[in-house]
Structure formats: structure tokens, C-alpha cells
Amino acid sequence: MSGTQYNSEPFAFTAGRYGDRPVFILTRRWKQKGPEVTLYELAPDNIAQTRRERFDDMSSSASLTIHELPDIIADGQTPNDIKSGHGDGTHDWSNWQALKIVTLGGERNKIAISSLVRPVLTSGEYDTDSVCVGSDGSLAVSESVGIRLSIGFRALRPVRKQNRLQAIADGVSNMTLGECYYWHAKMRSPTVPSGAKALRTLLSSHIN
């Protein structure tokens, strides 16, 4: 990351904006063409709606899809039930929604699982089987884990070449937490549509 300056002090977090509440959900769903993984960010109703309004005010190329939590988690569970024992599991989810970030399938899914999702979840002591193997599953994760996956998924989405996919997944997996928050801030805003492209260039421009 030479040439880019990061302010590391704000990233010395022990918890996210909502304490130990998980604020991202990763789902695995088996489709006709094989498994897909989708990442969602969780937010209170008012914040979710405000963010969608910001995207709606931008060009048609920027959009944001919002889901009710029961629509993305099977069997009437809540994020408390699919967090693999992290946190106290007593959070109230009655006024929260899920904002879809990215779905990855095919080769993108394979590389994301092997080189990004699995090592990131393992380092956070999560059970990887629920979203890395089998058919359908869901896992709620912390802010720091979700933000790393978020920038990785966004950067991987349009890439087709396997060697570029691999370089991006490896690069995001090895970033510091401060770097992840920096790129997440650039990517999540509808006013900075080139954030994901800039990260892809940084991590894979050396590959033909």
C-alpha cells in the first residue's frame, strides 16, 4: 500500500459501532449453476432507508436493495442464532433490515471462499462450515470481519480472470484493519463510485 497514507488511530477498535452486535450476514445458497455467497450489511430501519434514499438520488447505475431479516435467514432465526457463540446473543432485531452488498457465484465464489472468506472467518474464530461447504447456510459476523469481506466482494464482483481474482482475494485478506476501513469508506458511498475500481487496480494491475 505504498504511496497511500492511513490514519491508524481510529481503527484500534475492540468492537464496532453497535458494540458486539453482529452487523453483517454472509449466506450460502445453492443455485442451479452451483453455490453462491451473498454478503449483507445490517442497519436500523431509519439508517437503511436514509442510505437507500441517497442511492436513489444518484444515477441509475447506483442502487441499494434492502431485505427484511426473515427473508435472508431461514427457519425464523435472528442474527443472534447464527453468530457461532460470539457475543451475548441478546440483541433486539425488531427494527433492523439487511442491505445487500454483493453476490458471488462461479469462479469468483470459489476463490472468495478459499482465499478470503475461510481465512478471515478462521482468524475470527468463526465456524466456517455453515457458509463454506454444504448447501444453504447463514453466518452473522462482526463489523471488522464484515468490512473486510465487503471490500473484497465489491472488488471481486466484475473480475473474470482467475489470476486477478486470486490476487485481489489474497490482497484483501492480508490488509490491516485500518486499510480495510479506509477502502470501505471509499466504496460504500454512492458519491465515490470508483472506489472498488481503485482497489482492484492497486491489487491486480501488475497482472496481464
User: What does the alpha-carbon distance between residue 116 and residue 113 come to, in Å, rounded to a whole number?
Assistant: 6
Find out whether 25 and 37 touch, Cβ atoms under 8 Å: no
Of the listed ranges 14-23, 70-79, 144-153, the least confidently predicted one is: 14-23
How much is the pLDDT for 139?
94
Q: Is the pLDDT of residue 145 over 60?
A: yes
Q: Which of the 8 DSSP states describes residue 79?
A: G
Max distance between CA atoms of the chain, in angstroms, equals 49
The Cβ-side half-sphere exposure at 130, using a 13 Å CA radius, reads: 18
The more confident residue out of 5 and 84 is 84
Instruction: Work out the pLDDT band at 2, boundaries 50, 70, 90.
Output: very low
Query: Which class for 17: exposed (0-12), middle (13-18), buried (19 or more C-beta within 10 A)?
Result: exposed
Instruction: Work out the pLDDT band at 8, boundaries 50, 70, 90.
Output: very low
Domain ranges, ordered by start, for the chain: 21-203
pLDDT in tens, 28-70: 999 988 999 999 999 999 999 888 887 777 654 567 899 999 9
Nearest to 71 by CA among 88, 107, 54, 96: 96
How much is the pLDDT for 9?
32
Q: Is the pLDDT of residue 109 over 90?
A: yes
CA angle 190/83/152 to nearest 5° reads 35
Q: Mean pLDDT throughout 167-176?
A: 96
Q: Is the pLDDT of residue 188 over 90?
A: no
